[in-house]
């Protein structure tokens, strides 16, 4: 029986990229996928951390195609024909129920932050298929339409029992990487998943999403508003648009051919789970917000609406003797700030370093050698989910949101400025500065305020001023773009940074 060094289960971008890196480093890698490509996957919007991390991994391991995939501009320069889109802005707009005026009195309730480079919107059916092919070019043995029915862990290795086209067979591997996303095959096998009230994060959100063939042009309507002065550093068609309202938000992610990903995200304190049909509930909520309705109604969806339950879960353990989970299998978070792909590539960096520097060279496959990896993911999970919880609660008051939303950028930019992209397994360089005690202390102070404001009818101007001062002066060392400075009008063009 063929014995692999590593079997990766699940060929999403995370699983395939991880398999590819290990194969490039000379390991014998098997990649198992129960479906086949091309197939739909959610998680389409990249971020600066993702772009820089994949590029860094490309350089570190000698995989030029990672660099070519790292931003929209690089994809185009390389002549790669996968469907994608440019992401040059994070754009946020806060809607009131029934609001029809795009810019009341010439002012739009909008925040824009420009990305350092033009990141990519990945149409995952094509990017994931591309990554699988690339992995095969680098020597990964790939088997699709293959279900893993059983994993037998022993001190000498792992037996993976598979079924393909009605035929059952076993393969042997020394190590298993669970890249199966929220299905989390190892979490299920060992009953490790924590969900529901047992979960120690305040974030409770769910999602309803689909693809539209195209959507209306937000910018056109906004620019036509009387008295509106546009200060955006780039067209909003090159943005991930976030249409926020009390209790939720909706993403609009455009691809180049007009196809557009649209997803409604709901705070379950405000919108508890129910048994309404996905499409019916989507329109019921969207219809309360005329500007969003105008963008979407009359446009056709190109796939059925998908409605999730609560997105958050975490596994009690994320590594074990002879196995580890990639982040999307280890926990469920939320779409806000598009942390998923960044996390996947950060985790690949950590895991590959641990496997190639500690585990394989010593032949010691025990959990204790990997436990820092688990600790890093857990710390990031609780930090980022708390930050996102604050975001949902901040939507009630635009003046609160337009300051608090910068915490995500400050966490990400500080991580990059302090050299996080180059670091593998290092507990002081974690996503959104989860490894920086100074940042966390300051973040917690603001978070507590935001939660307090969320139950108040109005927030005094003195409190908003204090929020702005805190971000500008107390958090100066994390603030690279004059966030909170009234002179910026909540529009932040890219600046040169040392990362
Ligand atoms: C609503 C929502 C919105 C999101 N938006 C963003 C975003 O904008 N940006 C971002 O960066 N991230 C986002 N994410 C997170 C993102 O989806 C994941 O981080 C990303 O897809 C991780 O990829 P992956 O390869 O680890 O897993 P996946 O893409 O989930 O791939 C898992 C693969 O495993 C296969 N598989 C499953 N079970 C088995 C099995 N038993 N045997 C074999 N194969 C199996 C599946 O068929 C699939 O191909 C979002 C997540 C959600 C839920």
Q: What is the DSSP string of 100-146?
A: --SSGGG---EEEEEEEEEEEEE-HHHHHHHHHHHHHHTT-EEE-SE
What pLDDT, on a 0 to 100 scale, did the predictor assign at position 26?
A: 98
| Percent residues over pLDDT 70 in the chain | 100
Question: What distance in Å separates the CA atoms of residue 184 and residue 213, rounded to the nearest whole number?
Answer: 31
85-120+201-307 has which CATH code?
3.30.9.100
Q: Ligand 1 mean position to 309 CA, how many Å?
A: 15
> Which residue's alpha carbon is at the smallest distance from atom 30 of ligand 1?
181
Give CA angle at 372 (331, 311), nearest 5°: 5
- Contact residues of ligand 1, CB 6 A cut-off: 9-15, 32-35, 41-45, 147-148, 179-181, 183, 185, 207, 209, 263, 311, 326, 328, 335, 338, 340-341, 344
Pocket test for ligand 1, best of 324, 328, 337, 380 (most atoms within 8 A of CB): 328
| For residue 127, pLDDT beyond 70 | yes
In 3D space, the residue among 293, 283, 259, 270 whose CA is nearest the CA of residue 208 turns out to be 283
Strands 84-94 and 239-245: parallel
Ligand 1 atom index nearest CA of 50 = 11
What pLDDT, on a 0 to 100 scale, did the predictor assign at position 1?
A: 77
Ligand 1 atom index nearest CA of 15 = 25
Tokens of 23: 């194969």
**Once rounded to an integer, what is the mean pLDDT over residues 493-497?**
86
**Cβ-based neighbour number of residue 107 at 10 Å:** 12
Q: Ligand 1 mean position to 32 CA, how many Å?
A: 15
Q: Ligand 1 mean position to 82 CA, how many Å?
A: 18
Write down the mean pLDDT value for the chain: 97
Tokens of 499: 């990362």
**Once rounded to an integer, what is the mean pLDDT over residues 298-321?**
98
Instruction: Answer for the pair 70, 436: CB distance below 8 angstroms, yes or no.
Output: no
Instruction: Answer for the pair 266, 209: CB distance below 8 angstroms, yes or no.
Output: no
User: Where are the strands (E) in 309-459, listed by range?
Assistant: 313-315, 319-320, 323-325, 331-332
Q: Which helix (H) or strand (E) holds 206?
A: strand 205-212
Question: What distance in Å separates the CA atoms of residue 328 and residue 314, rounded to the nearest whole number?
Answer: 10
| For residue 496, pLDDT beyond 80 | no
Pocket test for ligand 1, best of 242, 335, 339, 347 (most atoms within 8 A of CB): 335
Ligand 1 atom index nearest CA of 207 = 1
Ligand 1 atom index nearest CA of 13 = 25
Instruction: Answer for the pair 73, 119: CB distance below 8 angstroms, yes or no.
Output: no
Q: Ligand 1 mean position to 40 CA, how many Å?
A: 10
- Which residues, 6 or more positions from 237, have their beta carbon under 8 angstroms from its beta carbon? 217, 219, 254
Q: Ligand 1 mean position to 183 CA, how many Å?
A: 9
Question: What distance in Å separates the CA atoms of residue 434 and residue 403, rounded to the nearest whole number?
Answer: 19
Q: Ligand 1 mean position to 498 CA, how many Å?
A: 31
Q: Ligand 1 mean position to 156 CA, how many Å?
A: 31
> Which residue's alpha carbon is at the smallest distance from atom 50 of ligand 1?
43
What pLDDT, on a 0 to 100 scale, did the predictor assign at position 450?
A: 98
What pLDDT, on a 0 to 100 scale, did the predictor assign at position 2?
A: 84
Task: For the chain, report the end-to-end CA distance as a whole number of angstroms.
Answer: 47
| For residue 498, pLDDT beyond 70 | no
Give the relative orientation of helices 406-417 and 371-394 as an angle to the nearest 10 degrees.
150
Pocket test for ligand 1, best of 85, 164, 180 (most atoms within 8 A of CB): 180
What pLDDT, on a 0 to 100 scale, did the predictor assign at position 499?
A: 59
> Which residue's alpha carbon is at the smallest distance from atom 45 of ligand 1?
10
- Which band of pLDDT confidence, cut at 50, 70 and 90, is reported for residue 468? very high
Q: Ligand 1 mean position to 12 CA, how many Å?
A: 6
- Sign of CA pseudo-dihedral 193, 195, 198, 203: positive
* pLDDT tens per residue across span 3-37: 999 999 999 999 999 999 999 999 999 999 999 99
> Which residue's alpha carbon is at the smallest distance from atom 31 of ligand 1?
12
- Sign of CA pseudo-dihedral 104, 290, 281, 254: negative
**Cβ-based neighbour number of residue 284 at 10 Å:** 11
Give CA angle at 294 (290, 299), nearest 5°: 140
Q: Ligand 1 mean position to 182 CA, how many Å?
A: 7
Strand order, beta sheet including 193-194: 193-194, 313-315, 331-332
Q: Ligand 1 mean position to 215 CA, how many Å?
A: 25
| For residue 272, pLDDT beyond 80 | yes
Strands 323-325 and 167-178: parallel
Q: Ligand 1 mean position to 342 CA, how many Å?
A: 12
Q: Ligand 1 mean position to 334 CA, how many Å?
A: 12
Q: Which helix (H) or strand (E) holds 394?
A: helix 371-394
Instruction: Answer for the pair 300, 110: CB distance below 8 angstroms, yes or no.
Output: no
> Which residue's alpha carbon is at the smallest distance from atom 18 of ligand 1?
340
Strand partners, 159: 152, 172
């Amino acid at each position: 029986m063929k014995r692999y060094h590593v079997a990766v289960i699940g060929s999403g971008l995370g699983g395939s990229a991880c398999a590819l890196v290990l194969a490039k480093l000379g390991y014998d890698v098997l990649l198992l996928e129960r479906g086949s490509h091309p197939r739909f996957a959610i998680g389409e919007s990249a971020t600066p951390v993702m772009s820089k991390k994949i590029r860094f991994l490309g350089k570190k391991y000698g995989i030029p195609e990672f660099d070519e995939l790292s931003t929209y501009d690089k994809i185009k320069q390389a002549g790669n024909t996968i469907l994608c889109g440019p992401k040059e802005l994070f754009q946020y707009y806060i809607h009131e129920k029934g609001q029809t005026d795009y810019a009341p009195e010439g002012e739009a309730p909008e925040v824009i932050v420009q990305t350092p480079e033009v990141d990519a919107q990945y149409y995952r059916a094509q990017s994931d298929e591309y990554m699988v092919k690339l992995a095969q070019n680098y020597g990964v043995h790939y088997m699709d339409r293959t279900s893993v029915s059983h994993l037998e862990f022993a001190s000498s290795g792992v037996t993976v029992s598979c079924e393909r086209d009605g035929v059952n067979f076993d393969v042997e591997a020394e190590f298993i990487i669970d890249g199966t996303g929220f299905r989390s095959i190892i979490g299920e096998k060992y009953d490790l998943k924590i969900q529901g009230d047992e979960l120690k994060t305040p974030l409770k959100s769910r999602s309803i999403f689909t693809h539209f063939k195209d959507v209306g042009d937000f910018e056109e309507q906004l620019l036509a508003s009387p008295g509106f002065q546009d200060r955006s550093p780039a067209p909003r068609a090159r943005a991930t648009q976030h249409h926020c309202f009390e209790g939720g938000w909706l993403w609009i992610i455009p691809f180049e051919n007009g196809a557009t990903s649209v997803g409604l995200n709901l705070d379950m304190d405000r919108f508890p789970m129910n048994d309404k049909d996905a499409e019916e509930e989507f329109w019921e909520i969207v219809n309360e917000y005329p500007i969003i309705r105008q963008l979407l109604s009359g446009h056709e969806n190109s796939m059925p609406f998908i409605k999730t339950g609560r997105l958050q879960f975490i596994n009690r353990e994320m590594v074990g003797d002879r196995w580890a989970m990639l982040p999307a299998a280890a926990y469920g978070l939320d779409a806000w700030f598009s942390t998923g792909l960044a996390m996947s590539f950060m985790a690949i960096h950590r895991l590959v370093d641990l496997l190639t520097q500690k585990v394989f060279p010593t032949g010691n496959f025990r959990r204790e050698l990997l436990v820092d990896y688990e600790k890093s993911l857990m710390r990031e999970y609780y930090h980022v989910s708390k930050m996102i919880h604050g975001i949902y609660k901040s939507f009630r008051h635009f003046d609160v949101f337009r300051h608090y939303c910068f915490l995500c950028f400050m966490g990400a930019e500080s991580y990059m400025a302090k050299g996080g992209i180059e670091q593998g397994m290092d507990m002081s360089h974690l996503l959104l500065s989860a490894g920086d005690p100074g940042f966390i202390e300051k973040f917690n102070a603001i978070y507590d305020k935001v939660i307090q404001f969320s139950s108040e009818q109005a927030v005094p101007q003195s409190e908003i001023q204090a929020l702005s001062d805190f971000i500008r002066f107390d958090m100066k060392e994390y603030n690279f773009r004059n966030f909170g400075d009234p002179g910026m009008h909540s529009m932040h063009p890219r600046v040169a940074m040392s990362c």
